[in-house]
Chains A and B, each alone.
Chain A
Amino acid sequence: MSEEITADILTTHILDLAASGKRMDGRSADQYRPVSVEIGFVTTADGSALARIGDTTVLSGIKLEPGKPFPDTPNAGVLTTNAELIPLSSPTFEPGPPQPWAIEVSRVVDRAIRAAEAIDLTKLCVTPGEKTWVCYVDIHVLDHSGNLIDAAMLAGISALHHAILPSKRFGIGEADTPLDVQHTPIECTFVRLGDAIVVDPSFEEERAAQGRLTVATDETGRVVAMQKGLVGAFSPDDIRATVERAFHHGDRLRTVARKGGTL
């Protein structure tokens, strides 16, 4: 595959550039690619959003259905996040069971939604121990050009923000009501390129990266989830600085996540 052959040459080039404070696409170390969110892209879903970061495109659809609560949490609803890294989005993705790193994307996004208590699961309960809403957050990666975690999070939380509980369809209530979303977690991902730590890695930068760090923040100033990935290391000072940057970007991305539009 030509992709593997060019990887080494590109990696050297990317690291050389980073050493002089530059990036291949001309961005600064602390600059995202253009971000946009289109809300309501899929009308068959109870909520949906198409998120783009540069060429990376991710579609998320919410489905809300009645189901049974887990025996250990009879008063709480059920939240399931599932990311499909379909072969359409990259030449290296194969059909079949999800690869470990696809599972990582789902789980990191799931953790941020859960830990931020974006949704008060107790409000999804219909009859304790018997009936509750099950909230499926399905994330479909359409175009993988780097930084899937941030794009998946953005698509997922935007879709949740605009989801409607289909109470009428399932005979649970008189009228359909908006899903109550109380917090807006946002993931910001950074990669190390030599001594530089850059935000929103492109596909090529992810390949060259010497460590990846994702920080999820919410609007109340809490860090709600983190994930270090790839081979590489970060010092405590690196992490502190990265968290500050994650709050800065998080606040900007949150407005797009809530209202849609471009950044």
Chain B
Amino acid sequence: MNLSDAADVLLGAEATASALEPLTDSWQELDLATATAVQHLTLSRRLARGERLTGLKLGLTSRAKQRRMGIDTPLTAFLTDAMVLRLGEPLRLGGLIHPRAEPEIVFLMGERLAGPGVTAAEALAAVASVSCGVEIIDSRFRDFRFKLPDVVADNASAARYVLGPRRVDPSSLDLTLEACVVELNGRVVDSATGAAVQGHPAEALAEAVNALALEGIALEAGWSVLTGGMTDAVELVPGSSLRVDFTHLGSVVIQASGGEAQ
């Protein structure tokens, strides 16, 4: 398999909502650098077919998850306008493989931010506003079974994202104590605070921007940055009703329907 084949296979699995075996099963030499190149190639193909780059998602932003995967910085992947789910719009599960939802703190970048050497304070100073959001992850690999290079190539399982209704000035918030309460079908199933994201979501942002600098990538003004799941991901099935309430950032409700994607 080469870069182009891998990008084809991944985008094909996404388009047809059919699960793949991990790339590393048959392509043992797939290392992180190559996987990153695959991720970048899938982005080029998305842009070539008319999608617009809207920002970045961070993955594996808890120390516990990083230890399990053997890394010490968050994963990054790209978001496009095709992944945006509008607030209140039902999530059609037909176009997805095995979607799971994660509550996240989202930064809207006010200024360009480029590493290396960026601190959390500098990163936060480049943030124009903070929102809440829910990310729908959907690994293209069967049963979410993958190795690190697989998930990097697979754009960190990015599938859809919803932004909450509020835009809050970051200097007015203590994000370490900004909480989310996750309710599935009327029952609270989980809760967490922003401290679960690398101690503070701005720490995750700084680490990500410094890691991206090694690839010559900077964050642009206007980008949304999903800073990583605060709780375990919640499985969604047809009929699932998910509600996430944040302390200061408002709420997001997602109704999952069985219908085909448009």
B partners with A: no
